[in-house]
Amino acid sequence: MSILDAGPVAIAAAIRRKEASSEEITRAFLARIEAQASLGAFVEVRPERAIADARRKDAARGQADLPPFHGVPIGVKDLNFVRFWRTRLGTRGLPPIWSPMDDVTVGRLREAGFVFLGKTATSELGAMPVTEPDGQPAARNPWDPRRTPGGSSGGSAAAVAAGLLPVAHGSDGGGSIRIPASFCGLVGLKATRGRIPNAFGSRDPEVIYTCGALTRGVADASALFEVMARTRVSLEPPAPLRIRLALESPLGTTDPGVRQRVEELATLLEAMGHSIEAVSTTAISLEEFLPVWQTLFTRLRFVRWDRTQPVTRWLVAGGRALPPGLALERQRDITRRVLAWQEGADVLLTPTVPVPPPLVGAYADLDGEAAFRVSAVLGSFTAAFNVTGQPAISVPAGLHPTLGLPVGAQLVGAMGTDERLLALAQAIEAARPAPRFPEPAAQPGVAG
């Protein structure tokens, strides 16, 4: 296996031991990115800047106390601000925003020693669970380029699954890390609200998104959580847990192949000593969630809404018509009901997404409302836990038995139990064969 595919922790160790240079690693990933530009994973790549930074990282390798990811390449989702880079937010409704500074989340990644290679594609303003913004190619799934990698962190997921990056930044407001992780065979953690600061350090209770990362393995996801949340994580297997299994959502029937893989994971967990109780999903409807989602977009300023996509315009128009305070009222009610439903269990197990990844363009001919409502099934197991603020992680559950595409399973814990979810995910990973990712394009100059 090439060092490029060993994951960010292993790459950092190789750079620190001078078994590989950051410049060599960076150039190799840039070559892969260029070779697979058709995936639409990136909206901007800055090779000269990345190589110059990698050289500086190499020159500093003799120093003591290097940061944990010194010299490791990363991509940042194009909803976040990187110093001296442009941010497009996936929209034509705003001109690209040039930032003189990193936002809070990106600042922690820079402190961790990463080399920034590029900005990864997002859906417009992060609104949709697929990554097909106007003005740039749609992001595509490396497992089957006819299909979406999900959204809104679709570019990040496509890049990691295709081997264009060892790790990528993402953000999650309704499943935007977990949905792409599921579709691309990756690990994606949505942390407890407040554990990882959002881009602007806001503590507003109505802000339901959080930043995170997409990785190929749990140990790497844990290491990224450590630097982003400034904490320490033990991946020792947890004591036997009470796990509830919910396989159906109110928004649609779970695909039989998805159901099969999640049920197999439940059987594995039971064999590991955990108790499994099958339950019905709590009935949170799309109509209840919709005001919470719509309100997020009404807060945006200076956007030319007439230049945005129909689904974004529909969300904003609906949000402006809401009575004051309704979104927060709905958020509190959903939180109360979900927490009551999960009371008595340590972990909830669900499919991450109830269906396989749709084809690219599946919603393109629909009007704004129809596109949102039809695509909402992709977030039917994920969005409620953004509202409650609970931690949730998507882990690979195997390949779909007929399509051969990745299936993800979601583990949800009580507030503040991120470390326990990561430890459980690690135990699952250790008990199952590692997934085989699509072969990346050749990387000249790097030993296999």
The two tokens of residue 415 are: 């507030």
Q: Is 152 part of the annotated catalytic residue set?
A: yes
Q: Is 18 part of the annotated catalytic residue set?
A: no
| CA 273/CA 215 separation, integer angstroms | 27
Length of the chain: 448
Phi, psi at 206, each rounded to 5°:
-85, -5
Q: What sign does the CA torsion over 194, 198, 200, 206 have?
A: negative
| Helices of type H across 4-90 | 8-16, 22-35, 47-59
Residue of 123, 176, 380, 394 marked active site: 176
Residue of 77, 119, 249, 394 marked active site: 77
Residue 141 per-residue DSSP state: B
Determine the 3-state secondary structure of 397 from DSSP: strand
Cis geometry, peptide bond prior to residue 152 (ω within 30 degrees of 0)? yes
253: Cα within 13 Å, side-chain hemisphere: 3
Contacts of 59 (CB under 8 A, 6+ apart): none
| CA 107/CA 77 separation, integer angstroms | 14
Q: Is 176 part of the annotated catalytic residue set?
A: yes
Residue of 152, 222, 375, 394 marked active site: 152
- DSSP of 187-224, one letter per residue? EEEEPPTTTS--TT----TT---EEEEEESSHHHHHHH
- Check if the beta carbon of residue 334 is closer than 8 Å to that of residue 106: no
Q: Any idea which residues carry the catalytic annotation?
A: 77, 152, 176
